[in-house]
Chains A and B, each alone.
Chain A
Amino acid sequence: MERTALRRRLTWQVGTVTEIREETATARTLVVDVPDWPGHLAGQHLDVRLTAPDGYRASRSYSLASAWTGETIELTVEEVPDGEVSPYLVEVLKVGDPLEVRGPVGGWFVWRPEQTGPIQLIAGGSGVVPLMAILRAHAAAGSTTPAKLLYSVRRPTSVIYLSDLKEIAASEDVEVTFAYTREAPPGEPRVGRVDAGLLDAITFGPKDEPTTYVCGPTPFVEAVADLLVGAGHDPARVKTERFGPTGGPR
């Protein structure tokens, strides 16, 4: 990323939706062309602002789903029932429409290719979005740093990026595990929340000194972060990002 891009104050700019991909029944990915986008790091996010005809504005923060390749950006939006912003993005917005964005923002919950040590990613629901960006950046950089994703979802049909995850999991450096909380696919006996036993069995342990990224709804993130610290992980290496029922700040 260019230094000038980091040092100036951020302003809103207008991009154009160039492609839309349905991910699940309630989530879709928007591919947006933003002419002055300065590039971004995996894990960063952006704000989206909608303006009503009467001038009323609402903005929400969304994670960037893609690694920066120099062209378009991607965000994946899960519809929040009765939400102010997400129903428009999921149901109404179409290819060719303008979209007002501000970003990239956030320098804490990020992964840089030059970073050392294993990567442990733990997602709750649509918290997988920034973690997918990290896996995509990891692949794009040709990194051989070991990476593991533990993805907690309600049921198989809730999984976002299923085909991409299968492809990424074929790499010998990356391991993907699903934890189903309501309904598992045939042949998968475990149904339940992420607990200490599961973390101990399939994630990097404290001795591996991983950097751990936990993203999901606030209660999920708090529970998982507490379990990790309780298991002996250094709290400074457990990075968290929470989203709430409103899907982000106003």
Chain B
Amino acid sequence: MTADVPTYLDGNAAAGALREVFAVDLTAAIGRCNGCGRTGAFAEARLYVDAPGMVARCSGCDGVLLRVVNTPTDTYLDLRGLTYLRVSSAE
């Protein structure tokens, strides 16, 4: 890993893994960071995929928002960095 080229993607890239668990799309949901209070679309979070699993971090304070780890039999979800997720009921 080098410091000059960002290694992260964004929340859009977590859409497939999240849709295996949730019946609605969470990337368009508005989330609030439990660390700094910033709110924004989950799609705009920074997503690191080089870890075992995926780690989404706040684009404001870099705090961990969400972690997803798939094993052959289960999916682990850690949502502790999100105060809430607001999902549109429109669709």
Contact = CB atoms under 8 A, between A and B. Distances in A.
Q: Which secondary structure characterizes the binding site on chain A?
A: mixed
A105 B12 CA distance: 8
Contact of B16 (A3, A47, A241): A47
B25 A107 contact: yes
B85 interface: no
Contacts of A218: 5-9
A11 B27 CA distance: 18
A249 B54 contact: yes
B47 interface: yes
Contacts of B54: 249
What class of interface size applies to chain B in its complex with A?
20 to 34
Of B9, B41, B42, B91, most buried by chain A (CB within 10 Å of CB) is B9
A102 B44 contact: no
Nearest to B21: A9
Contact of B91 (A3, A45, A242): A3
Contact of A45 (B5, B11, B12, B44): B12
B82 interface: no
Interface string A228-243: 0000000000011111
Given A6-B25, A61-B12, A102-B20, 15 more contacts: A9-B20, A10-B16, A105-B19, A106-B12, A106-B25, A107-B15, A108-B27, A108-B42, A239-B43, A241-B12, A244-B6, A246-B49, A249-B13, A249-B16, A249-B47
Interface of A: 3, 6-11, 45-47, 59, 61, 102-103, 105-109, 218-219, 222, 239-246, 248-250
